[in-house]
Amino acid sequence: MRLAGKGLVDRSTPVQFSFDGTTYKGFAGDTVASALLANGVKLMGRSFKYHRPRGVLSAGSEEPNALITTGKGAGQEPNVRATVQEVYDGLVTRSQNAWPSLDFDVMAVNDLGAPFLGAGFYYKTFMWPKRFWEAVYEPVIRKAAGLGALSGKSNEDTYERAYAFCDLLVIGAGPTGLMAALTAARAGADVIIADEDSLLGGRLNAETGAVGHQSGAAWAAAVVAELSSMENVRLMSRTTVTGAYDGGMYGALERVNQHTSHRGGGAPLECFWRISAKHAVLAAGALERPIAFQNNDRPGVMTAGAVRAYLNRWGVTPGKRVAVFGNNDDAHRTARDLAAAGVHVVALIDSRNDVAVPDFDGRVFKGAQVCNAAGRKELESITIRTATGEEALQVDCLAVSGGWNPTVHLTCHMGGRPTWREDIQAFVPTDGSIPNMTVAGACNGVFSTQQCLNDGVEAAKAALKALGKKNADVEVPKAEDAPYQMSPLWAVAGKGRAWLDFQNDVSVKDIKQAAVENFRSVEHMKRYTTQGMATDQGKNSNVAALAMLADATGRGIPETGTTTFRPPYSPVSIAAMGAGAQGHGFAPERWTTSHKRSVEMGAPMIEAGLWYRPSYFPKPGESTWRQSCDREVGYVRNAVGVCDVSTLGKIDIQGPDAAKLLDFVYTNMFSSLKVGRVRYGLMLREDGFVMDDGTTARLGEQHFVMTTTTAAAGNVMRHLEFVTQALHPEWEVSFASVTEQWAQFAVAGPKSRELLNGLLDEPIKGESWPFMACGPVSVVGVEGRLFRISFSGEHAYEIAVPSRYGASLFDILLKRAEEMGGGAYGMEALNVLRIEKGFITHAEIEGRATAFDIGAAKMISAKKDCVGKTMAARPGLVDEDRPQLVGLKPVDAAKQLTAGAHLFERDAEAVRINSKGHVSSVGFSPDLGTMIGLGFFARGPERHGEVIRMVDHLRGVETEVEICHPVFLDPEGERVRG
């Protein structure tokens, strides 16, 4: 019920929203919870396990009960706390975990079966038969339990990630945080102050006490106004600091547009911040804890602080006949505020005997406890137990306070453990838990407003000192300074179920049961009972559960200890954390200069790392990729083919010691390479296995261009950096990746020279460009480079031009090739061409192959040291029994070879221990009219001509294959030199 003249909501801006299909009115500034309470709606959800009717318990992000689903379709968001979600025009919300309706939920039958569903019932009940767990029990349990559901549709909202930097991060904008921010900001520090609420001020907006000459809320607004006007301050409302990390890093979730109907208009729905702070002040406040008693989960039973918040901030009374129950003076404040607002306070029940209570117009029970509540979907009455007996009172709302727990969570994110304070019966942060963080105010166990204001100033001063900045003069206003007095009361003794963790339906009995069954460690108790494991992480129940466990095991609370608090403090959507990393953001695409043309030609593009390369170029009339591939292989073998090879890594290496570097990273010699020549090189890792291979061209005495495989370009670059910085900083050599600066095309086939001669300003004559020659050329007026190298075994060249000419050169090359009976070839044809010649790729040098295995042992020069040389000589790496590179062809030419298949002796059983090698690459050779493959086989080079078995267990293929030399075509290399 809304009270006239109370609260901070904007009554001039009415808002309409819906809950479970009914339209309700609220005001700007309302949360769904406050607006529903204003409309008399108390039933807001059903519990996880027993489907018990639940109402709102709190007024903040710790809410365990009032979880709702917002939005529709792809924008649907489950498990939103009604206490956090602000209302806006058109907001659609509905309840969760109830069927067919919140009011009548058939699964509530679970509640009757409760005696059988206690702690650990899964483990005890669904034991047999074993296979039923996955097939029957788990799916049924999962369907019955649970909260909201995802839409199953792709999320269309936009999210962002961002970084922020500051001298001082103030976490929480209550009296402590605001005072700390003001002090530091006036001293000139760069300040970020973040608070999860939409309205900064913390408890000041929920209490009636004055600060200075004005109300707490007005003082907070004035400080916020001053901070907003300062250039060195960034105020971040609706921003939850979710985690504290190494080196002064903090994670924070900003709900940018969750409070509006704007979607997709540029601003993101949420933004995940990474804040780098030189210093931090944690002013996160405290969370009120309820007291457990029988049926304490009835809708209408709320924390006392929440009742004051709804009353003072939102102008709403959660009931017409309210009782207040507590073990501390905060309960008195609640009764006073309610009475002052004209709400009928039926009774004030204080568990303590010797306390002074304020004068007010209701009954007062000292040394009494509430021991039961009645009213299934709405609280109707409570039972009070006094020294003289029990008495029932008709109430529709009960405000409960069991004391306050400082919000220590962030201080535990780096492994810190909180410290128990007997006087306030609560855990407080342990000093130094987070480097460069000062904890202040209620989250350090300081509870009066005056002490919080003072503490904020002190915390800021400590931060300023650490930052080396001068103090600013700040006057601390006068405020309420009542001492916090309380006497522990965790649970009221009695029969029935008294609830601790509302969201996961954990009762006092369950904790005791865990202790009886010897789950005495707090971490075991937690997992056995699921206490604190729901989306609220037990924010208002964990400490009470610890107290119960301590009691049941005869230990003190400090000895019992706490469970581990981990980030995030409150739920963060995966979409926000992964913002920018979906789709193309997850894996950016690298396109070659011929990409557009290749796609226009209908080529299916395949991934090669982040690059995209054409698989083949289909022609009309071709119905399978094999037809296209065979044709393209024919281009290269019989006429001329053109292929974009720009994706290979290109590293430009220059300096007096360039050759020294190459001699050290390659197994073979490069210092002896003549200018204008190219050499194939093999690179090892330091452990002796092959890292990469490629060709390196010497363009000048001190100038080389190294090529790497497409996949290993980054690794090789990093390796060169390591060698030149960490092993040989004395070498004078510089290098840079020029992969993207040059577009490079293979022109391969018997007509390749003829093709190029039509383009080169100075045509190739006779032996002016022998095999493995390289140098600068002018190609249709552009300064380029020409390399006479071949990955197909044919007379071939690679021609490179600056990338901006790549697209046009590709077009020209293609046109010429087509006129000469050739054309473009893709990756499939390239693969067949290289297998026919026994050339290796990373299918062969996949990290487990040695130079010996690929028949390149002799490439490790005896004249010099190189990376990997020593370890490559280990006996195990040159063992004759190792599987070594061989060619493979099926005995029956029509049979299939498959890459990844294992190789066995002809008469051996095809089981793992008999495997003597595997197939690494396969392709169909149009020239040979059969499939061919490369693979590794034990003592393979000695066994050419012998027949073995290939078995592919995965694809169910078995073929008799003949071992042969890995070079299938032109073993003398006459074509390449011709």
Partner 1 sequence: MRIDCPMCGSRDRREYYYQGGAVMLARPAPDAGEAAWDDYLHLRENPAGETEELWQHDGGCGAWLVVTRDTVSHEISNVALAEDVKRAMRKAS
Contacting positions for partner 1 (CB under 8 A): 163, 245-249, 274, 276, 414, 435, 686-687, 718, 721-722, 725-727, 729-730, 865, 869-871
Longest dimension (CA), the chain: 119
Residue 246 or 354 having the CB closest to partner 1: 246
Residue 497 or 869 having the CB closest to partner 1: 869
**Least distance CB 923 / partner 1 (angstroms):** 35
Helix or strand or coil: residue 104? coil
Give the count of alpha carbons within 13 A of 931, CB side only. 19
**Least distance CB 290 / partner 1 (angstroms):** 37
Give yes or no for a contact between 900 and 954, defined as CB atoms under 8 angstroms apart: yes
Q: Which two tokens stand for residue 235?
A: 């105020």
Residue 245 or 360 having the CB closest to partner 1: 245
**Residues in a beta bridge with 775:** 786
Q: Which residues contact 600 (CB under 8 A, 6 or more apart)?
A: none
Give yes or no for a contact between 531 and 541, defined as CB atoms under 8 angstroms apart: yes
**Least distance CB 163 / partner 1 (angstroms):** 7
Helix or strand or coil: residue 240? strand
**Least distance CB 247 / partner 1 (angstroms):** 4
**Least distance CB 722 / partner 1 (angstroms):** 6
Express the helix, strand and coil content of the chain in percent, nearest 5 each.
25, 30, 45
**Least distance CB 729 / partner 1 (angstroms):** 4
Give 329: exposed, middle or buried? Use CB within 10 Å, 0-12, 13-18, 19+: buried
Residue 250 or 742 having the CB closest to partner 1: 250
CA dihedral 712, 718, 719, 723 (to 10 degrees): 160
**Least distance CB 91 / partner 1 (angstroms):** 36
For 31, phi then psi, to 5°, come to: -95, 170
Cα separation, 680 vs 702, in Å, equals 18
Residue 26 or 416 having the CB closest to partner 1: 416
**Least distance CB 730 / partner 1 (angstroms):** 8
Residue 679 or 869 having the CB closest to partner 1: 869
Give yes or no for a contact between 280 and 377, defined as CB atoms under 8 angstroms apart: no
For 553, phi then psi, to 5°, come to: -105, 5
Give 470: exposed, middle or buried? Use CB within 10 Å, 0-12, 13-18, 19+: exposed
Residue 376 or 417 having the CB closest to partner 1: 417
Give 28: exposed, middle or buried? Use CB within 10 Å, 0-12, 13-18, 19+: middle
Q: Which two tokens stand for residue 16?
A: 């309409």
Residue 363 or 685 having the CB closest to partner 1: 685
For 574, phi then psi, to 5°, come to: -60, -35
Residue 636 or 867 having the CB closest to partner 1: 867
What is the torsional sign of CA 335, 196, 460, 191?
negative
Residue 438 or 560 having the CB closest to partner 1: 438
**Least distance CB 407 / partner 1 (angstroms):** 23
| Placement of tokens 């040389």 in the chain | 869
**Least distance CB 727 / partner 1 (angstroms):** 6
**Least distance CB 668 / partner 1 (angstroms):** 16
Peptide bond into 770 cis (omega under 30): no
CB atoms within 10 A of CB 957: 14
For 803, phi then psi, to 5°, come to: -50, -30
Cα separation, 19 vs 39, in Å, equals 11
Q: Which residues contact 386 (CB under 8 A, 6 or more apart)?
A: 365, 367, 368
- What are the helix (H) ranges across 23-108? 32-38
**Least distance CB 803 / partner 1 (angstroms):** 22
Helix (H), strand (E) counts: the chain: 24, 49
Residue 417 or 520 having the CB closest to partner 1: 417
Residue 686 or 905 having the CB closest to partner 1: 686
**Least distance CB 581 / partner 1 (angstroms):** 12
**Least distance CB 724 / partner 1 (angstroms):** 8
Residue 247 or 468 having the CB closest to partner 1: 247
Give yes or no for a contact between 728 and 917, defined as CB atoms under 8 angstroms apart: no
| Placement of tokens 């059969």 in the chain | 930
Residue 114 or 878 having the CB closest to partner 1: 878
HEC string of 853-878? CCCCHHHCCCCCCCCCHHHHCCHHHC
**Least distance CB 872 / partner 1 (angstroms):** 11
**Which residue type is seen at 11?**
R
**Least distance CB 414 / partner 1 (angstroms):** 7
Residue 642 or 877 having the CB closest to partner 1: 877
Residue 414 or 601 having the CB closest to partner 1: 414
User: b/e per residue, 383-422, with b = 16+ CB within 10 A?
Assistant: bbbeeeeeeebebbbbbbbbbbbbbbbbbbbeebbbebee
**Least distance CB 14 / partner 1 (angstroms):** 45
Give yes or no for a contact between 866 and 663, defined as CB atoms under 8 angstroms apart: yes
Cα separation, 777 vs 788, in Å, equals 12
Q: 957-964 and 947-952 as β-strands: parallel, antiparallel, unpaired? A: antiparallel
Residue 248 or 418 having the CB closest to partner 1: 248
**Residues in a beta bridge with 46:** 53
Q: How many residues does the chain have?
A: 978
**Least distance CB 728 / partner 1 (angstroms):** 8
Residue 357 or 723 having the CB closest to partner 1: 723
HEC string of 287-345? EECCCECECCCCCCEEEHHHHHHHHHCCCECCCCEEEEEECECHHHHHHHHHHHCCCEE
Give the start-end residues of each E strand in 181-232. Answer: 191-194, 210-211, 214-215
